[in-house]
């Protein structure tokens, strides 16, 4: 049982309890998108689990939803690090995680005193 909204939360199968005053980040990690939010929020942020590079300039990298603002998406090489439920490109997946945890919403400074609840594949 996992209860999160301001109450104590316990991941199923564990004895670790998250207290009321300690923030927990909940992650539903999928092959297409990552849903991430802190335990106090009602709705998670949804970030595409993707890295895009332009064919002309390989140095131009777009992570997650960053490529949505581009007017011409035909020149993009799209890489999804997870296929059939398994991580096949660890370096790209790490780059996406770094982007997530260094963003304003989930900055590294908040993470050091944070518990994580990660949904596993069922």
Beta bridge pairs of residue 116: 25
Overall domain count for the chain: 1
Contact between 11 and 1 under an 8 Å Cβ cutoff? The reply is no
Provide the residue-wise pLDDT of the chain in tens; the chain has 122 residues: 344 434 344 444 444 544 555 677 788 888 999 988 877 778 888 899 999 988 877 678 899 888 888 888 888 899 999 998 889 999 999 999 888 888 766 655 556 667 776 766 66
Distance, in Å, from the CA atom of 39 to the CA atom of 73, rounded to the nearest integer, reads 35
Distance, in Å, from the CA atom of 22 to the CA atom of 41, rounded to the nearest integer, reads 14
Please spell the DSSP secondary structure of the chain, one letter per residue: ----SSS-EE-TT---EE-TTSEEEEEEE-SSEEEEEETT-SS-EEEE--EEEESS-TT-EEEGGGGGG-S--TTEEEE-SEETTEES-HHHHHHHHHHHHTSSTT-HHHHTTEEEEEEPP-
**69 within a domain of the structure (yes/no):** yes
**34 within a domain of the structure (yes/no):** yes
pLDDT value at position 104?
A: 61
**4 within a domain of the structure (yes/no):** no
Domain that holds residue 87: 25-120
Contact between 38 and 26 under an 8 Å Cβ cutoff? The reply is yes
**CB neighbour burial string for 53-63, b if at least 16 within 10 angstroms, e if fewer:** bbeeeeeebbb
**31 within a domain of the structure (yes/no):** yes
**10 within a domain of the structure (yes/no):** no
**71 within a domain of the structure (yes/no):** yes
pTM value > 0.75: no
> Which CATH number does the domain housing residue 77 bear?
3.30.420.40
């Amino acid at each position: 049982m996992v209860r999160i909204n301001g109450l104590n939360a316990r991941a199923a199968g564990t004895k670790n309890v998250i207290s009321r005053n300690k923030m927990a980040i909940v992650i539903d990690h999928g092959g297409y998108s990552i849903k991430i939010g802190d335990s106090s929020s009602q709705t998670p942020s949804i970030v595409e689990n993707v890295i895009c590079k332009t064919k002309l300039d390989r140095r131009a990298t777009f992570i997650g939803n960053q490529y949505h603002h581009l007017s011409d998406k035909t020149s993009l090489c799209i890489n999804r690090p997870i296929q059939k439920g398994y991580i096949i490109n660890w370096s790209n997946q790490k780059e996406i995680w770094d982007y997530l945890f260094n963003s304003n919403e989930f900055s590294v400074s908040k993470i050091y005193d944070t518990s994580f609840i990660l949904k596993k594949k069922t």
